[in-house]
Each structure stands twice: as structure tokens, then as C-alpha cells.
Amino acid sequence: MSLAIRPLPAFTDNYIWTLSLPGRNAACVVDPGDARPVLDYLAKHELTLSHIFITHHHPDHTGGLAELIKRFEPVVYGPDNPGIKGINQPLAEGDELDLWGYRFQILEVPGHTLDHIAFYCDQGPAPILFCGDTLFAAGCGRLFEGTPEQMQQSLGKFTALPPETLVYCTHEYTLANLKFAIAAEPDNSDLQARIDRESEKRRNQEVTLPSTMALELATNPFLRCQSKGIKQTLQGRQLNTDSDLEVFTALRQWKDNF
């Protein structure tokens, strides 16, 4: 049986991802910043919470931990950061965990925060990636703690994954990111087609996630630092484009003030 993965909206634009298996009365949630949507979902579907995945320490990803742990005593996987109260299975690069027979590999992906990790599973119909706030649909996370070099290296771990990998990030930032992406690369026809598709989804109040690595490689400017179109745009803004790192840094600084 395949994992069922569903988004629970939280706050203004967060998604708490839920994982379950048909016939099993247990659930796993990813980055529960708020306990209430999780509790409501579990009650509605008569599930217990057996596992939690945490990608990094920001409150909108960890705020529901205390209440959920008190109610269910789940196994809590997350980064080896003592500042996150409740993690009982700290993880590092290369570690693996088993969730109901599915093997998840851990990737350390600093940049957005220094403790950030991602959860990757290559079993099932398609590989799946829970990437927190490192990679977004058509974007990437702000550099609150890490450096551009760290973030670019982290994103490189994702681009090495199979193109069919399903990308589950944790915010509905897609349309805002696409607005920036088309400004950076206006002649990208794949990008314009994506804007049309995702805009239609949001008009219908549909979730734009998951994405795929193939789609991100074709339309995400932060993964396209070798694009001639992006370099031309940045040069027109008198920004350095001599190396991929300079392109990435210029894009991230521009996006911060876009």
C-alpha cells in the first residue's frame, strides 16, 4: 500500500503534511506548528499520532509539539538541536528511519537555518521529499542563519534526486515565487505555463503542492543559476554573474526585497 499524504492548512500559509497508510489507525505529521489542525484531523479520521517529523526549529514548524506529545507520546524525529524540546530521535546526515516499512533518508540542508534537515524516501510510486523551508515551489527559503554557499550546496542535494521526486514544502508561496521567477527569467516558456496552471489552482482554492524536482529544475530560478536569461536579467541590474554562487547570491538578495 502507498502512503497517503495530505496537507493540513495552518496559520496564513503553512501546510502540516500528514502521512498515513490505509488500514492502519496511525498517522505521522511533518512540522506541526499548530496542534489544533492535527488534533481535528486525527479525531475526524479516528487516528492516533505515532510519529512526528521536524525539519527545523522555527516556531511555525514546532509550536504544536508540546501538546501533541502530551496527548500521544509519539516518536519525534528531528535535527540534533537541544533547543527543540520534544525530539526523542535526533538525526544527522546519512541517518535512516523506518516509518511503517518505508525507509526515509536524512539530508542535512543548512541555509534557511543551520539545523535544517530534510526527509527523503525513494520507495512507493514516486520518491518523496519533505524539505521544510529549504526548497519552495519556484523558490527557496530566506537565509536567516546560513550563507548563500551553504544554501546552494543544500539545494544541490535536492537537484541530485530523481526528477520524478515529489517535493513537499511547507508554505503556499507558489504564486509569489512565480512572480519573482518570471521577472528573473521572462523568456522561460515552461515558467509561463506553470504560472497559468498554478494560478488556476489558486482561483479554485486548490493546493499547488507537491511539486516535482523536474518542474523545479525547469522553472525555479534558484536552481537555474546557469541560465543565460537569468544572467542577462541580473547583468541588467548591474549585479555580478561571474559564478553560479554569485548568481544565486544576487537572486536571493533581490528576492528578499522584491
What is the per-residue pLDDT across 77-134, written as a single tens digit (0 to 9) for each? 999 999 999 999 999 999 999 999 999 999 999 999 999 999 999 998 999 999 999 9
- The Cβ-side half-sphere exposure at 248, using a 13 Å CA radius, reads 22
Q: How many angstroms separate the CA atoms of 226 and 244, rounded? A: 6
Q: What is the pLDDT of residue 16?
A: 98
Say whether pLDDT at 196 is over 80.
Answer: yes
Provide the pairing of β-strand 89-91 with 96-99.
unpaired
Tens digit of each residue's pLDDT (9 = 90 or more) over 49-68? 999 999 999 999 999 999 99
At 140, list the grid cell. 527557496
Say whether pLDDT at 1 is over 90.
Answer: no
Region class of 187: left (phi > 0), else alpha (psi between -120 and 50), else beta? alpha
User: What CATH number has the domain bearing residue 133?
Assistant: 3.60.15.10
Say what the pTM is: 0.97
Question: Model confidence at 200, in pLDDT bands (50, 70, 90)?
Answer: very high
Residue 141 Cα distances to 26, 79, 164, angstroms: 31, 17, 22
Mean pLDDT of the region 43-53: 98
Q: What is the mean pLDDT of the chain?
A: 97
Question: Model confidence at 185, in pLDDT bands (50, 70, 90)?
Answer: very high
Residues tagged active-site: 56, 58, 60-61, 112, 133, 171
Q: What is the pLDDT of residue 201?
A: 98
Say whether pLDDT at 244 is over 80.
Answer: yes
Q: What is the pLDDT of residue 10?
A: 98
Q: How many angstroms separate the CA atoms of 254 and 182, rounded? A: 13
The number of distinct structural domains making up the chain is 1
Q: What is the pLDDT of residue 141?
A: 98
Mean pLDDT of the region 153-166: 98
Q: By residue range, what is the domain housing residue 208? A: 4-256
Provide the pairing of β-strand 102-108 with 26-30.
unpaired
Q: How many angstroms separate the CA atoms of 96 and 1, rounded? A: 21
Reported in sequence order, the residue ranges of 80-149 that DSSP labels E, i.e. its strands, are: 89-91, 96-99, 102-108, 117-121, 128-132, 135-136, 139-140
